[in-house]
Amino acid sequence: MGFDFTVFKGSKDGKITKSTTHKDTLDPDEVLIQVTHSGLCGTDQHYRSEEMVLGHEGVGIVQQIGSTVTSFKVGERVGWGYEHDSCGHCDECLNGNEMHCPERHMYGISEFDQGSFATHAVWRARFLFHVPESIQSAEAAPLMCAGATVFNALYSHDVRPTDRVGIVGIGGLGHLAIQFASRMGCEVVVFSGTESKKQEAMHLGASEFYATKDVKKLDIGRKLKHLFVTTSSQPDWPLFFSVLAPNAAIYPLTVSQDSLTMPYLELVQNGIRIQGSITPSRGTHIKMLRFAAFHQIKPIVQTFPMNLEGIEDAMQKLEKGEVRYRAVLVVEGA
pLDDT digits (tens, 9 = 90+) for 63-93: 999 999 999 999 999 999 999 999 999 999 9
**148-155 vs 282-295: helix crossing angle, rounded to 10:** 100
Which of helix, strand or coil describes residue 183?
A: helix
pLDDT band at 158 (very low <50, low <70, confident <90, very high): confident
Q: How confident is residue 232, by pLDDT bands cut at 50, 70 and 90?
A: confident
The confidence score (pLDDT) of residue 213 equals: 94
CB 207 within 8 A of CB 266: no
Average confidence score pLDDT of the chain: 96
Region 32-42: what's the mean pLDDT?
Answer: 97
Taking residues 284-289, what's their average pLDDT?
98
pLDDT per position as a tens digit, 110-155: 999 999 999 999 999 999 999 999 999 999 999 999 999 999 999 9
Residue 110 DSSP symbol = B
* Runs of H (alpha helix) within 156-299: 174-183, 198-204, 237-241, 264-269, 282-295
Query: What is the pTM assigned to this prediction?
Result: 0.96
pLDDT (average), residues 326-332: 96
Strands (E) located in 187-278: 187-192, 208-211, 224-229, 244-252, 273-274
Instruction: For residues 17 and 226, give the distance between their C-alpha atoms in angstroms, rounded to a whole number.
Output: 42
Mention the CATH class of domain 3-145+299-330. alpha beta
Residue 1 banded pLDDT, cuts 50, 70, 90: low
Residues of each domain in the chain carrying CATH 3.40.50.720: 158-274
- Average pLDDT in the 161-175 region? 97
CA distance 235 to 219: 17
Q: 119, 110, 173, 168: which is closest to 323 by C-alpha?
A: 173
The fourth-level CATH superfamily of domain 158-274 is NAD(P)-binding Rossmann-like Domain (3.40.50.720)
What pLDDT, on a 0 to 100 scale, did the predictor assign at position 309? 97
pLDDT of residue 183: 98
Task: Tell how far CA 195 is from the center of its chain.
Answer: 25
* 297-321 mean pLDDT: 97
All CATH 3.90.180.10 domain ranges in the chain, comma separated: 3-145+299-330
Taking the C-alpha atoms of 315, 316, 321 and 325 in order, what is their torsion angle to the nearest 10 degrees?
-40
* Mean pLDDT, residues 154-168 taken together: 96
Residue 333 has pLDDT above 90, yes or no: no
Mean pLDDT on 218-228: 97
Percentage of the chain exceeding pLDDT 90:
95
pLDDT attached to residue 323 = 95
Could you tell me the pLDDT band of residue 279, with boundaries at 50, 70 and 90? very high
261-274 confidence digits (pLDDT tens): 999 999 999 999 99
Which of 125-134, 160-169, 226-235, 297-306 comes out lowest in average pLDDT? Answer: 226-235
For residue 257, the model assigns a pLDDT of: 81
Q: Which residues are CB-contacts of 316 (< 8 A; sequence separation ≥ 6)? A: none
Predicted local confidence at residue 255, as pLDDT: 78
